[in-house]
Amino acid sequence: MTSRLDDFPVLRRRSRLRRLKEVPVLPSLITLGNLFFGFLAISKVADALQKAQPGALFSSVVGFFELAAMLVFVAMVFDALDGRVARMTGQSTPFGAQLDSMADMVTFGVAPAFLGKVLVDWHAQSDGNSLLPLHPKLFYAAAAVYVCGAALRLARFNVETGADEDDHREFKGLPSPAAAAVVCSLVALFCTRNDPSAAIGHWLLAPHHFDWIVCAMPVVLVVTGLLMVSRVPYPHALHALTKGKNSLPVLAALVVLIIVAALEWQLALAVSTFGYVVSGLVIGTVRLLLRRRDDDDDEGEPAEGAAPRPLPGRN
């Protein structure tokens, strides 16, 4: 007489449990480094709020905000390494993918939104600036749109993306590290407003242009949040530079960008991240126009086996 597992509910429940026995050590440590620096960036902004005196100007805490932006970029280095190390060592596991998404949610989702929102609040209230007559709840809403967009983006990426290297050549929607880079680079650029050593930035931007950066921050949070959940195609920048061949003007532009980054990294990051966002929009627009043109050409061609169209002017 054979017994079925369904006759024993306790055994049936135990059979559904899956216990994690082994985890990839080195890739997980790198991913946790990403998470650590993201948390540290949030902590630096919180320290600025705690240590500043009531009614203090932004210049008194500019170092905290600039350091927080730098820490997010440091976390991006760890985020770029963990997946590559996992594939090189043959340790790509579902555990690593889930841990990476959780770390990215904190570093590239919560930290940039918190950093941008606090900066806007500080500029609108502490400095007594009248360029932001909006209700404070709108700042909360803009940051919430960014955070929700990052969460949806990471969840969709886990579902749609496989372990194949070809899946990482192009992204559908703005990657969360790129969205975080846009926000943090603008914050870092704003921090150079009173820095006399930022000669190039002060030559290109007038003092009131730095105020426009903060005024545009709520819009930047909303737009980047929506781009993360969009289907706009974005190339994998590192893959394009290391795997493919580029033209001489591209190389010359990279050399100029590296030189500017060596002098003023805040300006170089702001320009490069803005250019990356625009590049995806341009690629998506061109593909849409080409697809529509191909559809129009297909509609204009006669179907196979159909009678040829009469020439104009003939009966």
Indicate whether 235 pLDDT > 90: no
The pLDDT mean for the chain works out to 80
Residue 3 within a domain: no
Report the distance separating Cα 240 and Cα 235, nearest Å.
7
Report the distance separating Cα 181 and Cα 108, nearest Å.
8
Residue 237 within a domain: yes
Q: Identify the pLDDT of residue 71.
A: 95
Residue 113: domain span: 23-294
Report the distance separating Cα 150 and Cα 174, nearest Å.
10
CB–CB of 81/34 below 8 Å? no
Q: How many domains does the chain have?
A: 1
Residue 52 within a domain: yes
Instruction: List the structure tokens of 126.
Output: 């502490």
Q: Identify the pLDDT of residue 268.
A: 87
Q: Identify the pLDDT of residue 72.
A: 95
Residue 11 within a domain: no
Q: Identify the pLDDT of residue 162.
A: 60
pLDDT per position as a tens digit, 217-231: 999 999 999 999 998
pLDDT per position as a tens digit, 116-157: 999 888 776 655 555 556 677 888 899 999 999 999 999 998
Whether this model's pTM surpasses 0.75 = yes
pLDDT per position as a tens digit, 186-211: 999 998 888 777 778 778 888 878 88
Residue 110 within a domain: yes
Residue 255 within a domain: yes
Residue 177 within a domain: yes
Element (H, E) at 233: strand 233-235
C-alpha distances in Å from residue 185, one per residue of 97, 115, 122, 130, 169:
27, 11, 18, 24, 24
Amino acid in the structure at residue 11: L
CB neighbour list of residue 253: distance below 8 Å, 6 or more residues apart: none
